[in-house]
Structure 1
Amino acid sequence: ARGGAGLAPRLMAGPVSEVLQALSEREREGAEPLAELHRLRALLLALPLPSVRELTSVLQFAVIFNLLNSEHREQIEVCVSILERLLQAVEPLYLAQNFKEQLQNGLQHPDDSVQILALSQIGRIVEDSVAVTAILNTPELLKGLIQSIGSERILVAKEAIHSLSRVAQSKAGLDALFMTCTLQDLTNVMATSDVIRYRIYELMVEISSVSPVSLGYCVNSGLLSQLINEMMGEDVLIRANAIEMITALLKTPQGRHYLAQQGVINKISNMIIGAASDPFSGFYLPNLVKFFGHLAIMDGPQQICERYPAFVEKVIEMVQGQELTMVGVGLDTLEILGSSIEGKQVLNKTGSAFQDLLRKLGNLLSGANMDVQSRCLDAVASLLYLSADQQTDDLLGMMESWFQALHSRPLEMFRTMSAQPFPEIHIGALKVFTAIAGQPWGQRLMLATPGFMEYIVDRSVEPDKDSKDAKFELVKTLVGSKTTAEILGNQHYLMLRGYLREGPYFVKTVTAVAVEGSE
């Protein structure tokens, strides 16, 4: 069997070799090579990958790379397709040792598809811990990658950023990337435009997140402090972009430590305070609040909100305002804060300001546009949720009072919303029901509302999979609660258990039809 397996590439080597020879002649004569290229592609696609790998070790394919130097779109397309097949079959180390020059030329090719081919192969090399050293020892290839960040095509730039961030995974890679001449290449590319400068910052942020050591290299390059300075600049749009980029540094402990050390968190808090007197703050204020929202996720809402009270005040003010963009960001941040017990307690400590906010949420739920309503439902569900182990008498009382503060008849309001045909509103209302379904006061309210228990087990009102899943979560929460059977009574509890047993997508078969048919 092994002999048979080795036979295929040997049999195919002849025809492939003939086509390559014909292509070389065509190239010398300056003649049209398309027919031969199509034939070669067909031959290679007919072979399994291991057989193609054997061919690459015995035949020379340099002519295909040469034929990329054409203005003929179809010729380039077929060459790229052939090279994808060939290079895919080659090990990353072999690729790095034998095709460096071709990959370098590919990065500078005017056609996007050739650049992407080169970048995808470099991507394979940088993922291989042995092969990547070949790139580190080739400054021209590193320079080509850096220049690709300046491409007009975002896909090319993203691939280049990814490859360079992979290069930076090792000490040798960091040394190669941050040596003086390479840093100069980065600086030169940055000077092209605002957009490309921010791509280099994106690369720095990605590298910084690898380890404290890699952050140290980025700090020493001066590029991170340059980014921080842009946050304080006059141009409000650049300021907004800088804050968004700096927010990405919060993902890691070393990033948060660096920002605290540089006084960035205090600066952003002061910018929130100063935004009130800046008529253009609408451009960057949402990003300031998102920054603190992410920080609250990482370090805990209590610590952040107590240290930076301006943040909570601003979130409440945004939701209370008229500007829809601000309202949306405020609601998203409220959802983050409400997702933890300490966040709920921080909000409750604001006293009457939060009570006013709850009434505002009720108004938004009744009369805002669909996007705001949907985000408001998510925020309310997050605020009202308590897991079983969080249900102290104090917290249960707090949740009930919050729910009642939303509207004069809150459950009826959400029930009306759950009947809307728009999935985000319908499902959002189901999430609110699920949030209160595990709490005794929520169960009592459901039982006291005429028709509500029947609605929960009515499968006909859920039109699609997502709605059925959301309804199933509600039923699962009710069945899983220790107080459900006692509060709702045995009949309702058994109906809910039956629903749970049948699963989210159960469809009742109509037996009468079958009886008629049998007659």
Structure 2
Amino acid sequence: MAAAIEELLAALSGSGDPIEELRTLKTAALALPLSALRERGPQLRLGGIFSLMDVADREQTALCVAILERFFQALEPIHIARTYNEELRRGLYHTDDSVKLLAISQVGRIVECPEAITAILNSLDLLKQIILCIGGDKISVAKEAIKSLSKIAHTTSGLDVLFGTNLLTDLKSVMTISDIVRYRVYELLVEISSVSAESLDFCVKSGILPQLLEELTGDDVLLRVTCTETVTMLAGSLHGRQYLAQQGILDKISNMILGADSDPFSGLYLPGLVKFFGNLAIMDSPQQICEHYPAFLTKVFDMVEGHENTLIGVAVDTLGVLGSTIEGKQVLQKTGIRFNNVCRRIGQHAKNAPTELRVRCLDSISSLMFLPLDEHTDDLLAMSESWFKCLSPHPMELFQSMATQPFPELHCGALKVLTAVANQPWAQKMMIDSPGFIEYVIDRSVDPDKDSKDAKFELVKALVNSKTSMEVLGNQHYLRLRAYLREGPYYVKAVSTVAVEGSE
């Protein structure tokens, strides 16, 4: 088969209408195992396929791209760099975006190879063309260009080439094409900054990163929204967060949250600011962030108690993230009656809001209520019980009724909440005191689909694995739950039939 591949490649050079030969070659290349292609790959001459893409025939170009993608899978990056550097460079000028994507993706492979990256770093014209691709109309091409360029930043030599040559001028020139392209370049710089403190330093000295931070507090509200998302990405690394703190960005965002009430357009950017601090709290310390920037938590509470569903959803999500850690739960508990009122509102939203928001509330509640078995202190158990009781006058009945509804998202969301509290003795007592609850749990007929059966099984597993469930639920109920767990989520009880003489 490998010999046939070589014959098919040779036949392409003399063909006046190569479409049929390309189809045959594509079929043969896809049929041949990669291991066989790797053995013969370095001996194959693929230059002719590149030349066949120089015609305005979309089918011919698509066939060439598919064949090259297959062959390149079998070739080492260093071989591609040494043999097809010029072809890749020409591919970046091609009018067909699929050819550009092929070339850029191979450059991305090459720069990840220490032995091959020099071939790319020495090709400034090639790198310039990739930078220009960031400004193109096709978002997939721009994304691939950003991806490949960011990989270069994993080496000091790559950083030197990107920021110490005329390529930096090319980057700044591309930024002037439009607001959209400028933020693509910001995205590239943020990805590069996340690699290391050294790469962050290069991005700061380029002047592009400080320009991004200036736009965060600019007058253009729509740009501020995009800027907030990008700055949130920058906060994903420790050195990135330290830089933002040193530049006073955290204080500026806190002040923007404080001033949101007087800004009629704050609804556009406020969700991004809240998400920013929510992510920051989880990555660093919930207590530290909430104490240093009290406006954040106050605004989250206000949003939950407001009437704008979009803001309610963001706030509920944020509380779920914040309350997923023990430290975050303790921070919320310190707010006292204010958080009890917030819990009450979340419970109301879970019961009465549109379905999408109800599901988000259920997810948040399950995060807030869950306590790992090794964190069952008296204080934490009392805290989760008090929060649960704030959700509704009859919380166990509320979630049980939601778990029997025909809507899969609500059904599974309610089961997730019950699973979150199932290992806690106070919740087990509520369950056993709720008429028909255990019967509902072991009744497989009320779970209409796979997701529901899986969610019910997780509830049973949490109950059985709890150290207190046998004592609280009683031996009979415990044994029935253990039998359910042993049988698995999809068990169907066999029904025997007895034939009666004369029956049809």
State TM-score, norm by structure 2: 0.95
Aligned to 2:274: 289
What is residue 227 of structure 1 aligned with on the other side?
212
Compute the RMSD of aligned alpha carbons.
Answer: 2.0
Cα displacement string for residues 345-399 of structure 1 (whole angstroms, at most 9, x for unaligned residues): 2222222322221221222122100011111111111222222222222222222
**Cα distance change, pair 137–478 in 1 and its aligned pair in 2 (3 A):** same
CA–CA separation in structure 1 for the residues paired with 2:154 and 2:38: 29
- Structure 2 contact 108–149 (Cα < 8 Å) conserved: no
Aligned twin of 1:497 = 482
- What's the secondary structure of 2:493's corresponding residue? coil
1:210-244 deviations in whole A, cap 9, x for unaligned?
Answer: 11111111111111111111101111111011111
Aligned residue among 416, 423, 438 for 1:438: 423
Match of 2:381 among 386, 396, 414: 396
1:61 deviates by 3.7
Q: Partner of 1:300 in structure 2?
A: 285
Query: Which amino acid in 1 is paired with 2:392?
Result: H
Match of 1:387 in 2: 372
Q: Alpha-carbon deviations, 1:244-284, whole Å to 9, x = none?
A: 11011222111111111111111111110011111110110
Once the two structures are TM-superposed, the CA of residue 146 in structure 1 deviates from its matched residue by: 0.9
Counterpart contact for 2:5–2:25, Cα < 8 Å = no
How many residues end up aligned between the 2 structures? 502
Mind listing any 5+ residue stretches in structure 2 that lack a counterpart? none
**Structure 2 Cα separation of the partners of residues 203 and 147 of structure 1:** 13
- Shift of residue 474, structure 1, vs aligned partner: 1.1
Question: 2:30, 2:70 within 8 Å by CA — same for their partners in 1?
Answer: yes
Partner of 2:56: 71
Gap runs ≥5 in structure 1 = 1-7, 27-31
Q: Does 1:178 align with 2:163?
A: yes
Q: Quote how far apart the aligned CAs of 1:152 are.
A: 1.7
Match of 1:320 among 300, 305, 312: 305
Provide the residue aligned with 2:95 in structure 1: 110
- Residues 461, 51 of structure 1: CA spacing in aligned structure 2 closer, same or farther, 3 A cutoff? closer
Please say if residues 126 and 166 of structure 1, whose CA atoms lie closer than 8 Å, have aligned partners that are also in contact. yes
Q: Is residue 106–residue 118 contact of structure 1 (8 Å, CA) maintained in 2?
A: yes
Question: Matched residues in 2 for 1:82 and 1:389: separation?
Answer: 56
**Residue from 295, 299, 322 that aligns with 1:310:** 295
User: Does structure 1 residue 331 correspond to structure 2 residue 323?
Assistant: no
What SS is found at the alignment partner of 2:235? helix
Mapped to 1, the partners of 2:253 and 2:42 lie a distance apart of 58
Per the alignment, residue 22 of structure 1 pairs with: 14
Q: Residues 195-274 of structure 1 correspond to what in structure 2 (within 5 A)?
A: 195-274=180-259
Alpha carbons 2:221, 2:265 under 8 Å: kept: yes
Distance 2:438 2:3 in 1: 73
CA distance in 2, matches of 1:52, 1:491: 64
1:343 to 328, 333, 339: 328
Contact 1:462 1:468 in 2 (8 A): yes
The 3 A distance-change label for structure 1 pair 500 and 40 is closer
- Which of 506, 511, 515 aligns to 2:491? It is 506
Q: Which residue of 2 aligns with 1:167?
A: 152
CA distance in 2: counterparts of 1:333 and 1:15, whole angstroms: 59
Check 1:356–1:43 CA distance in 2 against 1; reply closer, same or farther (3 A cut).
closer
Matched letter for residue 343 of structure 1: G
Higher mean alpha-carbon deviation, 460-469 vs 371-380, is at 460-469
> Following the alignment from structure 1 to structure 2, what is the Cα–Cα distance between the partners of residues 407 and 394?
21
In the TM superposition, residue 64 of structure 1 has moved relative to its aligned partner by 2.4
- Partner SS state of residue 55, structure 2: coil
- For 1:58-106, what per-residue CA distance to the aligned partner results, in whole angstroms no more than 9, with x for missing partners? 5644332222111121221222233333333332112111211111111
Structure 1 range deviating more: 78-87 or 452-461? 78-87
Q: In the alignment, residue 367 of structure 1 is paired with which amino acid?
A: N
Percentage of identical aligned residues: 56
Separation in structure 2 between the aligned mates of residue 508 and residue 480 of structure 1, nearest angstrom: 24
Counterpart in the other structure of 1:481: 466
- Please tell me whether the aligned partners of residues 78 and 116 of structure 2 are also in contact (alpha carbons under 8 angstroms): yes
Deviation, 1:480, is 1.4
Which among 405, 408, 422 is matched to residue 423 of structure 1?
Answer: 408
CA–CA distance in 2 between the matches of 1:211 and 1:198? 21
Q: Which amino acid counterpart does residue 345 of structure 1 have in structure 2? A: Q
Q: In structure 1, how many angstroms separate the alpha carbons of the residues matched to 2:44 and 2:364?
A: 63
CA offsets, 1:192-219, max 9 Å, x none?
1111111111111111111111111111
Q: State the AA in 1 paired with 2:124.
A: P
Residue 458 of structure 1: how far off its partner (Å): 1.0
TM-score (normalizing by structure 1): 0.92
Question: Could you tell me how far apart the structure 2 residues matched to 1:411 and 1:289 are?
Answer: 31
